[in-house]
Amino acid sequence: MSLKGFFGLFKRKSYVKQLDQLFNDVMSDVRIYAQRQDYKGAVITSFQGFADIASQLLNLTRAIYETGREFGMKVAEKANVSKEVVDEYLTSFEIARYTDREITYDEYEEAMQRLDICFRGMREQGIVAIEQERTKGKGKGKGKAKAKAKAKEKVKAPAKKRRKPVRRPQR
């Protein structure tokens, strides 16, 4: 394995660790609600984490006018996750968020299983995105040549002459 390949592998592993940390942070927040037996709050918090992770991994942001369902379907499409799974998760979220009905432990568990499937899909897409970023400039060296040319332009730019301040006599 070349040195370049080794550092690429190292970068990927560190990125995977960051992704796993994101997932763990979201799930620890959800578990806090679950320990209090507030399953409704846990499902709502899980959707907030779902949206945050989707925006970080997949570069998707939820528009102000966009419903949670519309955003979830965009995530499903981009992350190659089954739309049925996302739909079932979003239904759990909508029941928790928009109705007065309490969420049972079993409903909470089902929602978390679906969320886990969504997270795995987003994680895989995030890793694929990093791989594409890493290999993007490898073509025929055009990307590196452009970067070097821009760097030279910055160096060659003439320095502006600094004017001396003009002192005016006081009256």
Kindly report, residue by residue over 1-15, the tens digit of the pLDDT.
554 554 455 555 676
**Does the residue 165 lie in any domain?**
no
**Does the residue 156 lie in any domain?**
no
**Does the residue 161 lie in any domain?**
no
- Helix, strand, coil percent content, the chain, rounded in steps of 5: 75, 0, 25
Residues 99-153: tens digit of each pLDDT? 999 999 999 999 999 999 888 888 777 666 555 555 655 544 455 555 555 544 4
Count of residues for the chain? Answer: 171
Domain count, the chain: 1
**Does the residue 168 lie in any domain?**
no
Residue for token digits 């499409």?
77
> CA–CA separation, 66 vs 69, rounded Å?
8
Residue for token digits 């927040």?
29
**Does the residue 150 lie in any domain?**
no
CA 122 centroid distance within chain: 8
Instruction: Report the pLDDT value the prediction gives residue 171, as an integer from 0 to 100.
Output: 65
Specify the CATH number for the domain of residue 25: 1.20.120
Query: Which residues form the domain of 109?
Result: 3-140
